[in-house]
Amino acid sequence: MITKRIIACLDVRDGRVVKGVQFVDIIDAGDPATQAARHAQDGADEIVLLDITATHEGRGTLLDTVRRTARELFVPFCVGGGIRTAGDAAQVFEAGADKVSVNSAALNDPALIDAIGRSFGAQAVVVAIDARRDPKAADPVRNAEVFVQGGRKATGRRVVEWAREAEQRGAGEILLTSMDSDGTRAGFDCELTAAVSEAVGIPVIASGGAGTVGHFVDVFARGKADAALAASIFHFGVSSARSLKEELAKAGVSVRLPC
């Protein structure tokens, strides 16, 4: 039986983790390779490394980070942030990533999705979407607005319609972040997640708002998510992805255990 995935996300700047899944007994808070390997050992089903380096010089550091992280990692590994062209993606794949996540660049130039998919396969393309409910719209959820540049710039695109286009162009998965829920710890936006998940035939990864184990149960059931991103498991009263999954299993969610 296919299981629901718990994905650990690490934000990295200039080759160091600046915000990650903060476990109690971290060996090295800052080294992405060490942390990624640790999360995999602790039961994470997948690792996402999100590069938030702003400078051009930092890009070389990212490739080095990806190379070092991939060498020690035996679970799927996705890299996002700053991927503007198919050439950028190729470099990240050559460094050892299994998937790339594209967001702003795909909205600027949707053909980027086709280009990466053609060269590396749909399974390698994750389209990340940041969306906020639009209270003025007739259907505020399905017509949630898509934002870029870390949520600072509205695009006028609507979440369901953009997710469908991404799928048609060859995206293999959608990473959906609810801007309304992000950082609230009040739960995922299950309505938004379900609206997107039901509109596309590819897996949807839910992100934003988790504060308890129950929120994960909810987003898998009501939200119809195929996977969920854990940005700071530390806050959920569990010490690792493994214990989160043990709690989920007790609640009847199918997860990879033992792991």
Partner 1 sequence: MTDGDLPLVEGAERIVLPGVGHFAATERLDATGLTGAIRSAIARGVPFLGICVGMQWLYAGSSEAPTQPGLGYFAGSCTRFAESTEKVPHVGWNSLEVRKGSRLLAGVEPGEYVYFTHSYKGPVTADTAATTFYIEPFASAVERGNVMGVQFHPEKSGATGLKILRNLLSWEAKEAG
Residues classed as catalytic = 11, 130
User: Please, what is the minimum distance in Å from the beta carbon of residue 92 to partner 1?
Assistant: 15
Is residue 238 within 8 A of residue 247, CB to CB? The reply is yes
Structure tokens at 19: 């915000």
Is residue 6 within 8 A of residue 230, CB to CB? The reply is yes
Q: Which residue has the tokens 């660049």?
A: 105
Site membership for partner 1, residue 252 (CB under 8 A): no
CA distance 109 to 43: 36
Site for partner 1 in 145-174 (CB under 8 A): 172-173
Site membership for partner 1, residue 123 (CB under 8 A): yes
Site string for partner 1, 22-41 (x = CB under 8 A): ------------------x-
In the chain, where does DSSP find H-type helix?
32-41, 58-71, 86-94, 104-108, 111-120, 159-169, 190-199, 213-221, 241-250
CA distance 5 to 112: 26
Q: How many CB atoms lie within 10 A of CB 153?
A: 12
Site membership for partner 1, residue 122 (CB under 8 A): yes
Site membership for partner 1, residue 133 (CB under 8 A): no
User: Of the candidates 60, 87, 121, 237, which one interacts with partner 1 according to CB under 8 A?
Assistant: 121
User: Please, what is the minimum distance in Å from the beta carbon of residue 72 to partner 1?
Assistant: 12
Site membership for partner 1, residue 8 (CB under 8 A): no
Structure tokens at 66: 């990806």
User: Please, what is the minimum distance in Å from the beta carbon of residue 197 to partner 1?
Assistant: 9
Three-state DSSP state, 127: strand
CA distance 167 to 160: 11
Q: How many residues belong to the site for partner 1 (CB under 8 A)?
A: 26
Q: How many CB atoms lie within 10 A of CB 28?
A: 12
User: Of the candidates 23, 120, 147, 236, which one interacts with partner 1 according to CB under 8 A?
Assistant: 120
Helix (H) or strand (E) holding 214: helix 213-221
Site string for partner 1, 182-221 (x = CB under 8 A): -------------------xxx------------------
Site string for partner 1, 58-77 (x = CB under 8 A): ----------------xxxx
What is the contact surface with partner 1 in residues (CB under 8 A)?
1-5, 40, 45, 74-77, 98, 120-124, 172-173, 201-203, 226-227, 256, 259
